[in-house]
Structure 1
Amino acid sequence: MNNRGIGDWIHRRRIKSAGRVAVISAAGELTYDAWADRIDRLADALARRGVRQGDRVAYLGENHPSFLEALFAVGSLGAVFVPLNTRLAPPEIAFALNDSGSTVLLASVTMEPLAVSGSRGTGVGLLALVQDGTPVPAERQEGDLPALAYEELMLSGEPVRPDVAVDLEDLAIILYTSGTTGKPKGAMLTHGNLTWNSFNVITDFDIMSDSVALMIAPMFHVASLGMGVLPTLLKGGTLVLEPRFEPGRVLELIERHRATFISGVPTTYQLLAEHPNWESADISSLRQLTCGGSAVPLRVLEAYEKKGLSFTNGYGMTETSPGATTLPARYSRAKQGSAGLPQFHTFVRIVDPMGEVCAPGEVGEIQVQGPNVIKAYWNRPEATVDSFVVAEDGSWLKTGDMGYQDEEGFVFISDRLKDMIISGGENIYPAQVEQEISQLDGVAAVAVIGVPDEKWGEVPRAVIVVRDGHELTEEQVIGHLNGKLARYKIPKSVVFTEEMPRTASGKIRKPDLRKKFG
């Protein structure tokens, strides 16, 4: 047996950290040794039900220990974990399940309707429901789909460590990103990608064995998983899992558990600072605040500085597992607005349209290289080719983001080559939204742009040209999208115009739209 992947991490902690609390949640506390037994049981139960090396197992649910039990159990079998965004609509869930070829779906009982409807017509042959206080009947049928309680499934296995060889180059996770062409892409994260990203975080963020990480962002996002969960467990620290973000409760949990680490987006920290309990809350245990998605606004920065805290900002993407750059807390003022320096084991360069490395201060495309960078997309060879460039010093990921480095190597994001919108930390690609809106009979042309929003940073706005002889309202457009797209992707406003600004080749000029309607 020679498991070099992340699936063996908790087993290796079984003795090293025996008796130490690994995870705290509404379900209680689990020590590393007790948790390792549960993970081994789940792996054995899945193997008894036919899960083999390379098979895909999906998970749909909020932050819960079972999410990580599934991740590590699946990894110990050499199978592939497919976490699903709980905010997706049934057709989006179905696409991910079909595209990945998942055969098992583990889901929170609160997600049961979405899990059942999203599984129809897919290759999923077993649904296991995770419950916390909500009883789940013994094995039953959901239509043609066998369903049972997650605990029943897990306890049907023996606490036996799987005898499977797993290498760092083997696939660990398929994470679906919003697609620029309307179809999500499955980023293929290997055990090595996730391990090296954890090394980066431990090195740059000073994660310690006594770290207590309060995870308030969903683990189906790579930022939460890669920048908080996995590095903390690798070091033998403790996770506190919250199923959803509630500012008042977060402040309470920081104090109760003496949390040392939280991670979020600017909106997260703004809502905490605006809560009535902010001034009286004891958050003196915090040592590390990490923020991604965009730079921390000055007013938020100042609110935390008054409590003696500063931020570690950063930049990355699913394809980098997710870290690419980190702005150390000591530079949060001096380099405000910067995405920071390349992470310790990662390389970043800025190139011009000819592929030449830009001089300091010169804007170009940001490209990333390192052992934390994926090599391919699942079932998308054309996307893989388009997303990488091979140079004399190896392959570089083309991020599609524009920026520059200053004389000291700090990276600044200046614009997006792609049209991606980041709303409250969620990535939205307009093409997918435009594709759905264009199905309306009255739409002659549509473009979706991002507009500033005080709470979410930016939100989508649809700009529409109505066909002659037709009428269309904002309510009709938004109503058409309900149930087809995740709610965060649905435009918060719709404006109508008589014509779209276009290039000579007929492409819509979105910069002109942003200037007029943004």
Structure 2
Amino acid sequence: MHQHGIGAWVAKRRLTSPDRVALIHGEGSTVTYAQFADAVDRVGAVLREHGVGVGDAVAYLGENSPEFLEVMFAAARLGAVFVPVNTRLAPPEIGYLLADCDARVLVHDPEFAASVATALPAARVRQVVVTGEGTPDRPGLAALVREADPERTGRADPGLADPAAIVYTSGTTGRAKGAVLTHGNLTWVALNCVVDYDVVSTDVALMISPLFHVASLGMGALPVILKGATMVVERGFEPGRALARIARHGVTMLSGVPTTYQLLADHPAWASTDLSTLAKLTCGGSAVPTRILDAYEARGLSFSQGYGMTEASPGATALPPALTRAKQGSVGLPHFFTDVRITGPTGAVLPAGAVGEIEVAGPNVFPGYHGLPAATAEAFTPDGWFRSGDLGHLDADGCLYVTGRLKDMIISGGENIYPAELELLLGEIDGVVSAAVIGVPDDRWGEVPWAIVTVREGAAVDTDAVRAYLDGRIARYKLPKNVVIVDELPRTASGKVRKAELRARFAG
């Protein structure tokens, strides 16, 4: 084997640890690494029969499952590009993504058939495959895999610089941008996790966060497979079931956002569940509130908190559990193979304590956005550092503190919401003259979007009307939780909305 890409990992695990359990799913079904590798070979044969070759995009719309991982690794072995699609997107958003990446094949779970049917006219997808058995006249992936010849998989030899995935991140201009992640990017982010989170082959990781999120994929699934550990694959997150899985399977690793951990601690089974095997908890999306730290520390548990972005595959920093209290509010130190710096408006590197833009460099940082050379050029400094668009500072010990967002991004329950996308659609509503979207603190979700609007005299615009208009056009988690009508929006001399004033007024 001469592959350098992630597609080689499963085949190598078949050689080195064939009998070790790779995946646990459903009510306890197990898949060894030998079985996993065989399934990847068969899925690869199916994809090849559907015309997939080097550079082709293979999109996947579905919940966490062995099939998700099989399609990803099969695509990688063929030199194709895997495109995970957020299951919470509305059909127009799905259609845009499929068209933008020029997906040759779309694999989707049956429950998304209606969304797919609505989305497909906007794209040029050549082949659509449903997971499961399908129907006699349209066999599903499970049926196709049984008939596939694993010897006909075919293998490419992608290098570390070749694209492995396109992961879409909402853009500040209102359109999602596809971040191209290379085999090298995904390899190095996995290595960062192995080093900084001390992932070992005896770990059992509970995957409750969606694999279509780059954090779950790059920092959850890939390090586990790289080390030959075991992953408990959950289709969705239900707190009581997750607690039962922890106790039943002796889970050692868990990843999530603050909301995830709060829901677990609030569940009636929390106090009685055996959590003695849990050793590694990672949390991202936003800072962990003190009340959650207290609840977990009372059970002898502590967190590794972190910061990142899709463009870094996504990890940039991690705060070791030993520093959770001493550096509370910090998102940690740069990952082992990653560098972070703070720069001022002129691009000069700032000293410790000075607030400026957070910039990231390292082999886990992406090469650019799919089909967007201008946006790619704008995203990097002349010396090759990625401009995060976030504001922060480093302390004397090198720990990073995030203090604001140049891009005004809202993080709600771990989901990124970009105001510009909402503002574009709000402007289409009859009666709305102008709109600004801000994040307002929320005990459950961290932040929720509020729309601050001015309206035409006599227009009937309220929260219900706005949500009804937007529902179906965007994912439901992006819907404004409140609509506030004001006489006018505060603006600068150049006409830009002063969102800091709005946040001080409504989110303070």
The aligned counterpart of 1:137 is: 135
CA contact (8 A) 1:42 1:155 kept: no
**1:24 and 2:24 equivalent?**
yes
Q: In 1, Cα distance between the equivalents of 2:178 and 2:144?
A: 27
Q: In 1, Cα distance between the equivalents of 2:136 and 2:156?
A: 30
Matches within 5 A, 1:322-361: 322-361=314-353
**1:158 and 2:149 equivalent?**
yes
The aligned counterpart of 2:246 is: 254
The one-letter code sitting in structure 2 at the alignment partner of 1:386 is E
Q: In 1, Cα distance between the equivalents of 2:350 and 2:407?
A: 19
The aligned counterpart of 1:190 is: 182
Q: In 2, Cα distance between the equivalents of 1:420 and 1:139?
A: 46
**1:277 and 2:266 equivalent?**
no
CA contact (8 A) 2:182 2:366 kept: yes
The one-letter code sitting in structure 2 at the alignment partner of 1:335 is K
**1:440 and 2:432 equivalent?**
no
The aligned counterpart of 1:72 is: 73
Give the secondary-structure state (helix, strand or coil) at the position aligned to 2:291. helix
Q: In 2, Cα distance between the equivalents of 1:163 and 1:289?
A: 36
Q: Structure 1 residues 300, 371: CA separation in 2 closer, same or farther (over 3 Å shift)?
A: same
Matches within 5 A, 1:265-344: 265-344=257-336
Q: In 2, Cα distance between the equivalents of 1:119 and 1:33?
A: 36
Q: In 2, Cα distance between the equivalents of 1:247 and 1:87?
A: 19
CA contact (8 A) 2:463 2:481 kept: no
Aligned-residue offset at 1:227: 1.2
**1:413 and 2:411 equivalent?**
no
CA contact (8 A) 1:171 1:191 kept: yes
The aligned counterpart of 1:231 is: 223
CA contact (8 A) 2:204 2:229 kept: yes
The one-letter code sitting in structure 2 at the alignment partner of 1:508 is V
Runs of 4+ in 1 over 4 A off after TM superposition: none
TM-score (ref. length: structure 1)? 0.96
The aligned counterpart of 1:103 is: 104
Query: What are the ranges of 5 or more consecutive residues in structure 2 without an aligned counterpart?
Result: none
The aligned counterpart of 1:507 is: 496
Aligned-residue offset at 1:469: 4.2
Aligned-residue offset at 1:129: 1.3
The aligned counterpart of 1:180 is: 172
CA contact (8 A) 2:96 2:122 kept: no
Aligned-residue offset at 1:122: 1.4
CA contact (8 A) 1:180 1:430 kept: yes
The aligned counterpart of 2:117 is: 116
Q: In 1, Cα distance between the equivalents of 2:416 and 2:150?
A: 39
Q: In 2, Cα distance between the equivalents of 1:476 and 1:504?
A: 32
**CA deviation map 1:77-123 (0-9, x unaligned):** 00000000000000000000000000111011122211222222311
Q: For the aligned residues, what is the CA RMSD? A: 1.1
CA contact (8 A) 2:79 2:155 kept: no
Aligned-residue sequence identity (percent) comes to 53
TM-score (ref. length: structure 2)? 0.98
**CA deviation map 1:219-244 (0-9, x unaligned):** 00011111111001100000101111
Give the secondary-structure state (helix, strand or coil) at the position aligned to 2:441. strand
**CA deviation map 1:349-407 (0-9, x unaligned):** 0011111111111101000000000011001111101111022xxx0000001000111
**CA deviation map 1:135-167 (0-9, x unaligned):** 521343xxxxxxx31112223321225231111
Q: In 2, Cα distance between the equivalents of 1:152 and 1:294?
A: 42
Q: In 1, Cα distance between the equivalents of 2:117 and 2:7?
A: 28
The aligned counterpart of 1:431 is: 420
Give the secondary-structure state (helix, strand or coil) at the position aligned to 2:327. coil
Aligned-residue offset at 1:20: 1.0
**1:474 and 2:463 equivalent?**
yes
**1:43 and 2:32 equivalent?**
no
**1:149 and 2:178 equivalent?**
no
The aligned counterpart of 1:386 is: 378
Q: In 1, Cα distance between the equivalents of 2:408 and 2:122?
A: 32
Aligned-residue offset at 1:283: 0.8
Q: In 2, Cα distance between the equivalents of 1:288 and 1:163?
A: 36
Give the secondary-structure state (helix, strand or coil) at the position aligned to 1:34. helix
The aligned counterpart of 1:127 is: 128
CA contact (8 A) 1:465 1:498 kept: yes
Q: In 1, Cα distance between the equivalents of 2:236 and 2:499?
A: 35
| Residues matched between the structures, number | 505
The one-letter code sitting in structure 2 at the alignment partner of 1:99 is D
Q: In 2, Cα distance between the equivalents of 1:48 and 1:299?
A: 53
CA contact (8 A) 2:90 2:474 kept: yes
The one-letter code sitting in structure 2 at the alignment partner of 1:220 is F
Q: In 1, Cα distance between the equivalents of 2:217 and 2:47?
A: 23
The aligned counterpart of 2:83 is: 82
Aligned-residue offset at 1:24: 0.9
Q: In 2, Cα distance between the equivalents of 1:121 and 1:360?
A: 49
